[in-house]
Amino acid sequence: MAWKKSPEELLTFLSETLKDVACHSKQMFGYPVYFINNNMFIGAHQNDLFLRLALEDREEILASYGGIKPFEPIPGRVMKEYVAISESRYRDKEIFTELLAKSVQYVSSLPPKEKKGKKPKKK
């Protein structure tokens, strides 16, 4: 399955939006993703953003807004704490600001994730 490259406008939007958030970024599968305390919380995937939310927030948001759905990067493989946000929703400043604040609050409350050590080389 070939994934579509994220549009440059989406990547710019994401980096500009997060410039004042205490987080760091990495590339995963060719897309930028952002972490707080080594816990992934937001990123780009094709034409959408994905965002990590607490269960209560996820349920409320999925019931309240169109253009937001469970994040399923591979058909049949839903990432349980994440939602995918379409352009129409992440461009809605009021809604996206609310969602981002909930995500930052939730992920900041999680214990720091330990970095995995490098696997030893096989001989």
Report how far residue 27's alpha carbon sits from residue 18's, in angstroms, rounded to the nearest whole number: 15
Within 10 A of 18 (CB to CB), how many other CB atoms are there?
18
Mean pLDDT of 25-39: 90
34 — pLDDT class (breaks 50, 70, 90): very high
Mean pLDDT of 17-23: 93
pTM for this predicted structure: 0.85
In contact, 55 and 62? CB cutoff 8 Å: no
Question: Which overall architecture, per CATH, does domain 8-109 show?
Answer: Alpha-Beta Complex (3.90)
Residue 7 pLDDT > 80, yes or no? Answer: yes
Q: What is the pLDDT of residue 117?
A: 66
The residues spanned by each domain of the chain are: 8-109
Mean pLDDT of 84-103: 92
Residue 123 pLDDT > 70, yes or no? Answer: no
In contact, 43 and 49? CB cutoff 8 Å: yes
Give phi and psi for 34, each to the nearest 5: -125, 145
Which of 40-44, 92-96, 101-105 bottoms out in mean pLDDT, i.e. has the lowest?
92-96
Q: What is the pLDDT of residue 1?
A: 56
